[in-house]
A and B are shown apart, each in its own frame.
Chain A
């Protein structure tokens, strides 16, 4: 041992490196860019893409039939006016949040392990937001009229949206979030587009990547402005991502429906979003790293860290469930009290307990290191968490609405085949877009991975 190394407390083992040792600038560049440029694609990629595309067609049929017949083809009706559309909207938008958390918040916190996963997590954000944005639009039944309901543009009727409504805040929050996420993603891609331009052999690829790279040449003066802009974007995305799910939770908490009208909703929703999002990143990362042999870049340390974030945010979510029950009792409000009893023991009680199982019990296995580092269990656990978060929104929306203040207006909600077709259609759309992204763009940020290599450290300067 080097005598100058300060003594470590016994039992301390330094964290494993973020990138497996032995890589050079060239090997990193070649390995990541070859996925797009030269390598043959595994059969599993093609099969998954085809299955995804099949469901895109299901989505096309479901939305086409909806536009033809109207939203009567769905199961939602008064009193449950919001059902699958809003459940799916909140579910998808929540999944997107992990991408921004990884790319922006972990950048500000100098968590260098984010570097190998931020690119595809950001892509996941964009595609999830695209799926989410569809639902409020098709929920109007006549999306071509949604323009003047949602967006403030000077129309011939001199009507303006109601800016005191959380639904309009939501339009602004989600569209800003989608735009800023797309910008952030593109800016991160510019230097990699230049790499792809220089690595590509085919003329079409050279021209395409060349145009997308804007003629990037890696100038030091450019890098200086680039790094400034990137850091500022990260700083702005951080409050933005927190605001988005806060505003989504306002859609509920501003209403006076029992089970919705609670101040805990914003933090509880944001934690749930990050929880669901990290589960989705795990769901995508585990098969992709296996499929393309990226274990050197997406190491066990990454998976373990993501598992830990999932565990922590899962506990916050469970705290939210506990507080809902506590408020119902402590408020001494008979409607709140009825709501929680109905939620736990009413006709949808089984959904509530399934949700507690998925979100409350299954993630507790992550306390055990052996399970946390087992990719198969992590993958299954992540899928269960995704189901659990979907059930959470079902419970919040449907059980609160179906039995509110007036027993004469109580009713049951049952989804129809079209509800499921639309939902699974967006899952197919998401899978298709993700797998096309993996095929067409570098899924790991090449230039940022270069900065992690030991060769990239400049001697004599402060350790940046």
Chain B
């Protein structure tokens, strides 16, 4: 082990989702905070174990929906009442029930876009390069591998002690992650 080489962190591989959940719980209990787990499908207990609970996507969607609602109704109102008023059979210019379908559609449209773009932005994607990809085995994280990485930036991180700790959690293999 070359102690001088800069390090992103240490990555442990586990056999199955159960082992990953167990390890995530223990790592969090040990006080590590700059930790992330990698799995080929969503495993709710894992992010619960890491106390990852970001609710900003919901907030963004709410804001996006309200914006879309106002934009849709505003578009109908402005064009039909202010910019280009047309008398259709004596109906009021602000015939708001006819504006509801468009308002509804723009609400959904804006909310859906904020949901997706918000999720992508909060995840920091697109990110073509990330240190975890330097571990050759990591390509299995999108197929059948379950990984857990502790960053060197974590205050509790110590190269050899963390290595031993990850080993003691039943990791199949622990790799160093180059930055």
Beta-carbon contact of A195 and B101 below 8 Å = no
Beta-carbon contact of A217 and B133 below 8 Å = yes
Stretch at the interface among B2-10, B46-54, B154-162, B164-172: B46-54
Q: Does A295 contact B (CB under 8 A)?
A: no
Stretch at the interface among A35-43, A52-60, A233-241: A233-241
Beta-carbon contact of A164 and B80 below 8 Å = yes
Q: Does A152 contact B (CB under 8 A)?
A: yes
Q: Is the interface of A mostly helix, strand, loop or mixed?
A: helix
List the B side residues contacting A448 at CB < 8 Å.
41
Known: A163-B98, A183-B113. A25 touches B143 (CB 8 A): yes
Q: Give A84 to B104 CA distance when docked, in angstroms.
A: 29
Beta-carbon contact of B108 and A229 below 8 Å = no
Beta-carbon contact of B42 and A236 below 8 Å = no
Cβ distance B86 to chain A, nearest Cβ, rounded Å? 7
Interface residues on A, range: 35 or more
Beta-carbon contact of A215 and B43 below 8 Å = no
Q: Give A227 to B122 CA distance when docked, in angstroms.
A: 13
Beta-carbon contact of A158 and B83 below 8 Å = yes
Cβ distance B106 to chain A, nearest Cβ, rounded Å? 7
Beta-carbon contact of B40 and A229 below 8 Å = no
Q: Give A450 to B143 CA distance when docked, in angstroms.
A: 9
List the A side residues contacting B39 at CB < 8 Å.
218, 220, 223
Q: Does B173 contact A (CB under 8 A)?
A: no
Beta-carbon contact of B104 and A450 below 8 Å = no
Q: Give A246 to B21 CA distance when docked, in angstroms.
A: 46
Residue of B with least CB distance to A161: B79
Q: Does B63 contact A (CB under 8 A)?
A: no
Beta-carbon contact of B17 and A227 below 8 Å = no
Beta-carbon contact of A220 and B37 below 8 Å = yes
Known: A233-B116, A456-B17. A225 touches B122 (CB 8 A): yes
List the A side residues contacting B45 at CB < 8 Å.
458, 461
Interface string of A155-187 (1 = CB under 8 A from B): 000111111101011001100100110011011
Q: Give A41 to B39 CA distance when docked, in angstroms.
A: 31
Known: A158-B84, A225-B54. A447 touches B41 (CB 8 A): yes
Known: A219-B36, A458-B18. A236 touches B41 (CB 8 A): no
Known: A217-B132, A229-B119. A224 touches B47 (CB 8 A): yes
Q: Give A460 to B25 CA distance when docked, in angstroms.
A: 13
Beta-carbon contact of B57 and A180 below 8 Å = no
Cβ distance A31 to chain B, nearest Cβ, rounded Å? 12
Cβ distance A26 to chain B, nearest Cβ, rounded Å? 5
For B44, B91, B99, B119, the residue with the greatest tally of chain A CB atoms inside 10 Å of its CB is B119
Q: Does B88 contact A (CB under 8 A)?
A: yes
Known: A215-B127, A228-B58, A228-B119. A458 touches B43 (CB 8 A): yes
Interface string of B105-147 (1 = CB under 8 A from A): 1101101110110111011011111101100001111111000
Q: Which residue numbers of A lie inside 8 Å of B, CB to CB?
A: 24-26, 29, 152, 158-164, 166, 168-169, 172-173, 176, 179-180, 183-184, 186-187, 191, 194-195, 197-199, 210-211, 214-229, 232-233, 236-237, 239-240, 243, 247, 250, 447-448, 450-451, 455-461, 464
A–B complex contacts, Cβ < 8 Å, 7 sampled = A29-B143, A176-B106, A217-B133, A220-B52, A223-B47, A226-B42, A232-B58
Q: Which 10 A-B pairs have the closest CB atoms?
A: A25-B144, A229-B119, A214-B126, A160-B79, A169-B101, A220-B37, A198-B139, A215-B127, A214-B125, A164-B98
